[in-house]
Amino acid sequence: MMGLIGVEAIAAGGLALLLYNQLRTMCVGMVTGLGNQIAGAIARGEKRTGTDLPDEIAHEEVRTLLRSGLAVAALTAIAAGILLAALGQVFPFLGQSGEVVRLAQPILLTIAPGLLPMLWLNVLRQFAVGLRRAGSLFRVTVISIAVNAALDAAFIYGWFGLPKLGLSGIGLATTLVQTWTFLTYLRTVRRDETLAPLIALDLWRADPAVMKQIARMGTPIALTYGSEAAITSIATVFMGTFGPVALAASNIVNQLAYIVYQLNIGLSQSSSILVSRAVSKHHLDEAGGIATRALAISFSIMSVIGLVYVLFPQTVLRPFLGLDDNPAVLTVASVLLWFAIAHQYFKGSQNICVGLLRGLGNTKAGLTNTLIGYWLVGIPAMALCAYWAGWEAYGVWFGLCLGFGVTSLLLWRRFIVDLRAGQTQLHVSAPEAPSMERARA
């Protein structure tokens, strides 16, 4: 939709949205572990009853986790929204052009309030995923895409008597859709026979101890997700130093990669929940098969999408350019699509590995390995290839892919080590298997 406004809007709006995604991703990380905790509670309840039906102790534990997760989400979103609005003032000091700064700052103000309903939606999502009822979110998401596009156009062109707000209108549309999506999904969850009896929205009754437990598990995840978003944000800032054309082309390709990335996020979530259930039931031998299947599905999908990029690059890119079919942007973006293919394999597999480790109860390894892969390899490689080697925009994306590739290998190795350690401890311990924390120790 930004392409309907112009190339400068793609450059400025993309920069603002990457900063938004930086904080949004970290906020989501704070509550991502909630799904694993709920899955573990249900699995332990099933183990106590010896059936596929958990006991009432597990049900009450789920309710406590939900209301505490909503409270953590509220505090996190409010703090992040204030920070996001303030960060727009930093753009002039990052080498961005004056027009990009002028267009980017207002959208941050209109998009920041949407963090609260967005994060509450993610709490409900983790609640449903933990109970293996994730399908209920799909319908809401598909409808929200159409609603978001309609609102974007209404604020761009002033339809239905609405003011013409340009980029800031796109930010406002995002906030409105986040609110609508949360309320719609809440209604959907309330109608689910499995989920409805376990819903507890009275976050003012949240258990401080459980909130701390969620925050302790969520903080490393948030920092891991933040580190991942940061390397992309830094790459975008680097791209901005090569002018609006390079920045717009990078934002378009990054958006394509981000859309495809959601498939891997889904695989990461599902495999993580299944591993958590296997750990809670002391069935660690199942975890390796879950990991193999998740990566096989991911690589198959990434291969098909990569083939589409190679065969039909202009068809893939043109919708993002809107009415301004800029040949310079199209040329640069067409080359960057080749980097996007590698990017999707590496970034997707590393996210799946983060989910697998979270399923084992290890949320710290993701942070440690991303710090190495991103900050010691990826970002220096971007700077060296872009400026010292003179590859400019292509050097930035080469370094980005290198950082994700190294991180993916490190995380997969960590998962194998943790899984084998857990299996060894489980086989030698009797009668009760140790926790994964003890296994890693």
Give per-residue pLDDT as tens, 166-187.
Answer: 777 888 888 999 999 899 889 8
The verdict on 259 and 204 lying in the same domain is no
Q: Over 50: is that where the pLDDT of 434 sits?
A: no
Select from 184, 208, 232 the last residue of a domain.
Answer: 208
Unique residue bearing structure tokens 């976050």: 203
Segment 95-147, tens digit of pLDDT: 556 666 667 777 888 888 999 999 999 999 899 888 888 666 677 778 888 88
User: Do 261 and 156 belong together in one domain?
Assistant: no
Residue 250 included in any domain: yes
The tokens of 298 are what? 């991911």
The answer on 373 and 289 residing in a single domain is: yes
The verdict on residue 231 lying in a domain is no
The residue from 208, 228, 251 where one domain ends is 208
On whether both 374 and 299 belong to a single domain, the answer is yes
Place of tokens 């065969």: 311
Task: Using the predicted structure, report yes or no on whether residue 154 has a pLDDT greater than 90.
Answer: no
**Same-domain status, 336 and 426:** yes
Q: What is the pLDDT of residues 9-47, one digit of tens each?
A: 777 777 777 778 888 888 998 998 898 889 888 888 888
Provide the residue type at 419 as one letter: L
Does residue 81 lie in a domain region?
Answer: yes
Please state, in angstroms and rounded to a whole number, the distance separating the CA atoms of residues 298 and 238.
29
* Inside any domain, residue 237: no
Please name the residues in contact with 147: beta carbons below 8 A apart, sequence gap of 6 or more: 177, 180
pTM for the whole structure: 0.74
Domain match, 47 and 120 both: yes
Check residue 197 and report its DSSP letter.
G
The answer to whether position 216 is within a domain reads: no
**Residue whose entry in the numeric block shows the structure tokens 């495999």:** 271
In a domain, 227, yes or no: no
Residues 43 and 192 in one domain: yes
Is 214 inside any structural domain? Answer: no
Query: Would you tell me how many other CB atoms lie within 10 Å of the CB of residue 168?
Result: 20
Residues 189 and 247 placed together within one structural domain of the fold:
no
Q: Do both 248 and 171 map to the same domain?
A: no
* 3-state class (DSSP) for residue 28: helix
The amino acid present at 430, given as its one-letter code, is: A
**Domain range enclosing 171:** 1-208
Q: Which residues contact 353 (CB under 8 A, 6 or more apart)?
A: 366, 408, 411, 412, 414, 415
Residues 286 and 188 in one domain: no
Is 259 in the same domain as 190? no
Residue 229 covered by a domain: no
Q: Are 88 and 16 in contact (CB under 8 A)?
A: yes
